[in-house]
Structure 1
Amino acid sequence: MNTELINSIAKYVEQHIGEFHRNRIAKLQSVNLKELLSRKNPYLFKAKNIVIAGGMVESLASATMSSAEESIFGNWMEGVAMFVAEQVYAGYKSSAEGIDLEFDKEGVHYFVSVKSGPSWSNSTSMKKQKEQFAKARRVFNTSRKTVPTMCIEGCCYGNDNKGYNDSDHEKYCGEKFWTLISGEPTLFVDIIEPLGFKSKEKNEEYFVEYGRMINKFTQEFIQDYCNADGDIEWDKIVRLNAAIKAPKKTKKK
């Protein structure tokens, strides 16, 4: 374990972890009940025989926030990765489109697109990423033709490591990625403790806001989507979610 590097990461986390928790709360405060109902599959919830308004709202909110938190934390974790590369290899934020990080290591110039996890792409996004790597390399080679380059999809977790048909583009996940940007083979394990800085305190703040949202949305759900007997009116939910929307009328000039 590189104690000096871990201490630096701990200080970085202490200074920046609040951003992650603030963004979680901001996401909670930005959603509304109609948005939750519009984005999730009403047929699935009916098939699960959900009959309690609070249970319906809780399921909607949990599914929505789980997805949002993955994205929010992924973006924040990319900052940690860039900090590590900066400390160890003088890495820097790339100006190239689609590239997050550049640094030199053992005579090779690396272009890294930092991802949260391995399941980030489809065929369209992968094609675009390959084009961005190729462009970044072309621009770089106009001034430093003799320096070998390597393009990396760097995933903060997972172990889906692989090469592609283009030999200068590879996917590094988890241990392999953190080792690349730090030179420390155990860093992927060592960083877990610093990431827990004040997590209990910050989560308590989050769940206060989460509870408010659940209570508020449950009241709204009962009022708008339950009948006088307290039954969920599924037809209203399905219409909100899946009915064809009438085109907006344009104002005459």
Structure 2
Amino acid sequence: MTKKEIGADVLENKVAALLDAFYKKRSAALGDLKLVNTLKRKNPYLYRAVGVSDASQIVEEILKAHVSSSDETLFGNEFFEPLATWVAAESNPHHIVDTSHGEGVDISIKTNSSVMAIAVKSGVNVFNADSKKKQGENFSALNKRLHKLALHFDPIVGYCYGRKQSTGRSKVNFRELAGQAFWELITDDENFYLRIVRVMGEKPLEHRPEFQSAFDKAKNRFVKEFLDNFSTKEGAIDWDKLIAFNSGKERPKKSDYIESFEQAI
């Protein structure tokens, strides 16, 4: 049965709502971020080796690295995955679209002759050997539960962006479709992957001032905490103290740090 076309206005409204949710979480994450936790994961030797002597430069690089790494996960959770689930339901009103089949399966589309089980992933580099094996096991478990229905079972990993060489089932027990191919699968529209970015319009620009404000507040807070805890009386970076905090074999003494920093140690 032909899939239903999603209207431009309907898609635009949905994308706008998901972008709102993404930016709200994005700004909130900066407000919740703790300098003490980010410093534990960074390489202070590298900052010293490249000649960084400005605390604000270290803090800005820390924040930019955090945003870069967290945005990918956050965008997948708050935008791509809910969008794919919504699109599957909107495009297949004559089929049973279910989102409650358990671990490793985000969407199932049931027709009179088949069940298409889809695991939605943001980008194509999410799997290592163990997680790919686990994904196959999740599909197999669902297939066993649905066996009594006597329907063709079609397990798919759908990547919301990127390119992936189409795989059959010689190496894994599921198909992999990425980018244009994935969105076309659930909509029958070969241009749907382009429609998503087109309907974003000016929405991202509307959110930038709010996010920049949250970023600047986090930076100012971090710079103050960094100088309070890792600078000399003359205002230079105290590299010994910073390295000891990051890489010392013993847990740092709370008495060596200001009260707000102590609470996070």
Q: What TM-score does the superposition give when structure 1 sets the normalisation length?
A: 0.88
Name which of structure 1's ranges 189-198 and 19-28 shifts more when overlaid on structure 2.
189-198
- The answer to whether the Cα contact below 8 Å between 2:15 and 2:196 also exists between their aligned partners in 1 is no
Q: Residue 222 of structure 2 aligns to which amino acid in structure 1?
A: F
Please list the CA deviations of residues 186-221 of structure 1 after superposition, one character each: whole Å capped at 9, or x if unmatched. 111111022345222212111101101101111111
Q: What residue in structure 2 maps to residue 20 of structure 1?
A: 22
| Aligned residue identity for 1:94 | S
Distance 1:245 1:21 in 2: 38
Name 2:59's counterpart in structure 1: 57
CA contact (8 A) 1:154 1:171 kept: yes
Structure 1 CA distance for aligned equivalents of residues 100 and 171 of structure 2: 22
Question: Deviation at 1:106?
Answer: 8.9
Matched residue, 1:251: none
Following superposition, the deviation at residue 229 of structure 1 comes to 2.8
Could you tell me which amino acid in structure 1 is paired with residue 115 of structure 2?
H
Distance 1:187 1:59 in 2: 36
Q: State the 1:154 CA deviation.
A: 0.9
Match of 2:257 in 1: none
* Cross-structure match for 1:11: 13
Partner of 1:176: 181
Q: Is the counterpart of residue 151 in structure 1 residue 152 in structure 2?
A: no
Aligned residue in 1 for 2:82: 79
More off after superposition, 232-241 vs 94-103: 232-241
1:193-212 residue pairs with structure 2 within 5 A?
193-196=198-201, 198-212=203-217
Aligned-partner Cα distance in 2 for 1:74–1:43? 32
Q: SS of the residue aligned with 2:154?
A: strand
Alpha-carbon shift at residue 158 of structure 1 (Å) = 0.4
* Secondary structure of the structure 1 residue equivalent to 2:7: helix
Structural RMSD (CA)? 2.0
Q: 1:39 to 1:161 in 2, by over 3 A?
A: same
Matching residue within 24, 32, 35 for 1:33: 35
Whether 2:165 is the aligned partner of 1:165: answer no
**Superposition deviation, residue 184 in structure 1:** 0.5
Q: Is the 8 A contact 2:19 2:204 kept in 1?
A: no
**Shift in CA distance, 235/123, structure 1 to aligned 2, threshold 3 Å:** farther
* 1:119 corresponding residue in structure 2: 125
Counterpart of 2:126, as a letter, is: W
Structure 2 equivalent of residue 43 of structure 1? 45
Q: Which structure 2 segments of 5+ residues have no match?
A: 252-265
Give the TM-score, by structure 2 length: 0.85
Shift of 1:168: 4.2
- After TM superposition, give the deviation of residue 69 of structure 1 in Å: 1.1
Aligned equivalents of 1:234, 1:111: Cα separation in 2: 53
The Cα of 1:133 is off from its aligned counterpart by: 0.8
Give the conservation status (yes or no) of the 8 Å contact 1:89–1:104: no
Percentage of pairs with the same residue:
28
Distance in 2 (CA, whole Å) between partners of 1:44 and 1:171 is 39
Q: Which residue of 1 aligns with 2:147?
A: 141
Stretches of 4+ aligned residues off by more than 4 angstroms: none
Query: Does the aligned pair in 1 maintain the 2:5–2:91 contact within 8 Å?
Result: no
Matched-pair contact (CA < 8 Å) for 1:13–1:197:
no
Amino acid at match of 2:47: F
1:59, distance to aligned residue in structure 2 (A): 0.2
Distance 1:184 1:3 in 2: 8
**1:21-50 Cα distance to aligned partner (Å, 9 max, x none):** 110011101111111101222233223322
Distance in 1 (CA, whole Å) between partners of 2:5 and 2:101 is 31
In structure 2, relative to structure 1, the CA distance for the partners of 1:197 and 1:98 (3 Å cut) is farther
After superposition, give the CA deviation of every residue in 1:168-193 in whole Å (9 maximum; x if it has no partner).
40111101111111110111111102
The one-letter amino acid paired with 2:125 is S
